[in-house]
């Protein structure tokens, strides 16, 4: 499963910080261009409904660069959340098995195969409507 990796997120250090300890971005990564967008009421409502927790600017930038996080259809959100919890428990169990060493290696391989199958189910939940 391809992980969402957004290199244009708002978590980057600011290039405008006065704090000398703040990590500076390389010059080619600093955002110095401004784009203004005018929206009517209907378009603004669509943006606000789609952006969830993201700021408008972050959502518009991600949308323009085709880097939006995957969206799960409403009927599948409950299954998505349960599957996410199951995957977390599976990760915890895999970590435990890895600490046990070579005794648990065959079981670890089975766990990895199960994780791959569950990730395919998660992918399917993003497109399945019923």
**Across 75-87, average pLDDT:** 81
**pLDDT at position 40:** 95
**pLDDT at position 13:** 52
Calculate the alpha carbon distances from 31 to 15, 44, 52 in Å: 9, 24, 23
**pLDDT at position 85:** 84
pLDDT digits 0-9 by tens, 12-35? 555 555 565 556 778 888 888 888
Mean pLDDT in the chain? 75
Confidence band (pLDDT; 50, 70, 90) for 129? low
Do 59 and 49 form a contact (C-beta atoms < 8 A)? no
Predicted structure pTM score? 0.43
pLDDT digits 0-9 by tens, 33-65? 888 989 999 999 998 988 878 889 888 888 888
Compute the radius of gyration of the chain from its Cα atoms.
20
**pLDDT at position 80:** 76
Comparing CA positions, the residue from 72, 96, 86, 70 lying closest to residue 5 is: 70
**pLDDT at position 94:** 76
Comparing CA positions, the residue from 74, 88, 72, 75 lying closest to residue 122 is: 72
């Amino acid at each position: 499963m391809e992980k969402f990796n957004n290199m244009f997120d708002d978590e980057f250090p600011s290039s405008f910080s006065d704090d000398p300890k703040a990590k500076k971005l390389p010059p080619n990564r600093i955002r110095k261009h401004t784009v203004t967008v005018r929206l009517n009421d209907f378009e603004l409502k669509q943006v606000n409904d789609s952006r969830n927790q993201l700021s408008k600017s972050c959502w518009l930038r991600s949308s323009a660069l085709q880097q939006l996080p995957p969206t799960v259809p409403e009927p599948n959100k409950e299954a998505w959340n349960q599957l996410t919890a199951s995957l977390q428990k599976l990760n915890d169990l895999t970590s435990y098995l890895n600490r046990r060493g070579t005794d648990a290696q065959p079981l670890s391989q089975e766990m990895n195969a199960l994780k791959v199958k569950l990730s395919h189910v998660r992918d399917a939940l993003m497109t399945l409507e019923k």
